[in-house]
Amino acid sequence: MATDAPPPSKTEAGYPTTDAFIAVQESAEFGDLRRSHRSFAFPLTVAFIAWYLVYVLLSNYAGGFMGTRLLGNLNVALVLGLAQFLTTFLIAWWYSRHAAARLDPKAEAIKSRMEAGA
């Protein structure tokens, strides 16, 4: 049976306060977690965007090279285009492994401490 009573405020339900979230955000442990994420994600993002832009620029300005046949009807453009998909999946797999090994344990420790009072 549903009631019309308002939900409890966060402090009444034992949720962390805003000050607790700010303290965690400013902690060295959270800074280490953020640094671990950024040191992995940012370089890979830049590398992938550069790789994608090289492909686009080659497609626009090096038509002869991109049209070079490699095997039967396969040309350089098709192989590099398919490599874009392969690269995407490899990066996702690599990030998943990185997150499971390095990010998730740190995040879980922070989350456990934050939820300890709930």
3-state SS of 8-64 is CCCCCCCCCCHHHHHHHHCCHHHHHHHHHHHHHHHHHHHHHHHHHHHHHHHHHHCHH
Under 8 Å between Cβ of 58 and 52: no
pLDDT in tens, 58-109: 999 999 999 999 999 999 999 999 999 999 999 999 999 999 999 999 999 9
Q: 3-state secondary structure string, 51-73?
A: HHHHHHHHHHHCHHHHCCEEECC
With a cut of 50, say whether residue 111 has pLDDT above it: yes
H/E segment holding residue 101 = none
pTM, to two decimals: 0.76
